């Protein structure tokens, strides 16, 4: 994708996501993620109805009248977007490529976070971590993240989501909102997922094309694995072969869903032709 095409695509995504963010998701995002604690704000004279446990006894003794500590919610959060850039994510047969769909969802989440003055960071990974954008605030920063997702070189290697989790936890210690984007076609270490979900608020988003789940009848065809290069011939006219393929994919999705749910992490399965905003809205409401 050339630079002018990337700039055009980023602008299109910003326009499309702005309405969804402001009209649909902003309020739910704010309600779902209110902050992670209380922090000291100021000391002021005691007022009727103030809690006794908030009294600042040192200042009260010094001025011989009661003063209380005012606490406020720690509103600022950090959102980390972990995006799979293995070659299978640079694919699409419907309205757009998986990478474009991911960029749009990431934009919606990012603008929601920016609207609440939260920081957003990005980790691009495949068999290892390839690029990191540290968390920052602001609209321009979100646009840079979208551009990075669209312009990344997608890697012919198996995705290792556990490597991405491991790196994130080693670098970013503060509890964060973690959104993991992948098609989850490759194996991973579920133990690392569980550790990540204990330390952070994790949501897995499986982004898939309809052809990932079902193979049409096109006769004999040569299939090439975009990540490993492995090739096989298959007779797609064989109804039993097509059925077995579809069932294997369904079982794979069930296994990933169970892994996330048993790890106390969220999981969403989204077709690139679907309206992703309704899935995010439902997730925020459950929070």
- The string of pLDDT tens digits covering residues 104-162 is 999 999 998 888 888 999 999 999 999 999 999 998 999 999 999 999 999 999 999 99
pTM listed for this prediction: 0.81
Q: Are 30 and 287 in contact (CB under 8 A)?
A: no
DSSP code string of 237-279:
T-HHHHHHHHHHHHHHHHHHHHHHHHTT-EEEEEETTS-HHHH
Domains in the chain: ranges and CATH: 3-33+76-286 (3.40.50.410), 38-73 (no CATH)
Q: What is the DSSP letter of 86?
A: B
What order do you get walking across the sheet with 129-136 strand by strand?
Answer: 129-136, 119-125, 78-84, 177-182, 201-208, 266-271
C-alpha 51/C-alpha 49 separation (Å) is 6
At 132 the pLDDT is 97
Tokens encoding 76: 């600022």
Tokens encoding 57: 């006894």
- The string of pLDDT tens digits covering residues 183-236 is 999 999 999 999 999 999 999 999 999 888 888 899 999 888 888 888 989 999
Helices (H), the chain: 3-20, 26-32, 57-63, 98-115, 139-151, 161-171, 190-199, 210-213, 239-262, 276-286
C-alpha 142/C-alpha 153 separation (Å) is 19
At 2 the pLDDT is 60
Counting beta carbons within 10 angstroms of the beta carbon of residue 117, is it exposed (0 to 12), middle (13 to 18) or buried (19 or more)?
A: exposed
- The string of pLDDT tens digits covering residues 263-280 is 999 999 999 999 898 899
40 has pLDDT over 70: no
Helix (H, G, I), strand (E, B) or coil at 109: helix
Report the candidate in 132, 208, 199, 138 with the shortest Cα–Cα distance to residue 167. Answer: 132
Tokens 């700039």 sit at which residue? 7
Report the candidate in 166, 220, 218, 212 with the shortest Cα–Cα distance to residue 188. Answer: 166
């Amino acid at each position: 994708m050339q630079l002018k095409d990337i700039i055009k695509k980023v602008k299109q995504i910003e326009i499309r996501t702005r309405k969804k963010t402001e009209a649909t998701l902003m309020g739910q995002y704010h309600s779902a993620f209110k902050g992670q604690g209380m922090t000291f704000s100021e000391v002021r004279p005691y007022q009727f109805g103030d809690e006794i446990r908030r009294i600042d006894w040192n200042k009260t003794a010094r001025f011989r009248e009661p003063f209380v500590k005012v606490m406020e919610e720690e509103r600022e959060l950090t959102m980390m977007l972990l995006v799979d850039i293995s070659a299978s994510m640079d694919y699409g047969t419907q309205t757009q490529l998986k990478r474009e769909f991911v960029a749009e969802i990431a934009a919606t989440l990012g603008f929601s976070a920016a609207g609440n003055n939260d920081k957003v960071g990005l980790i691009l990974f495949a068999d290892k971590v390839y690029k990191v954008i540290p968390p920052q605030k602001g609209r321009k920063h979100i646009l840079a993240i979208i551009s990075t997702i669209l312009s990344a070189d997608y890697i012919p290697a198996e995705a290792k989501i556990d490597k991405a989790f491991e790196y994130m936890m080693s670098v970013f210690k503060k509890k964060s909102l973690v959104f993991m984007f992948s098609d989850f076609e490759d194996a991973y270490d579920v133990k690392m997922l569980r550790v990540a979900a204990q330390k952070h608020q994790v949501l897995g988003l499986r982004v898939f094309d309809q052809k990932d789940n079902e193979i049409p009848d096109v006769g004999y065809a040569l299939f090439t694995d975009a990540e490993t290069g492995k090739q096989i011939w298959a007779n797609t006219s064989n109804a039993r072969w097509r059925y077995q393929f579809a069932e294997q994919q369904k079982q794979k999705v069930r296994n990933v869903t169970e892994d996330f749910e048993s790890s106390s992490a969220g999981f969403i399965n989204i077709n690139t032709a679907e309206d992703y905003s309704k899935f995010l809205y439902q997730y925020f409401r459950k929070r």
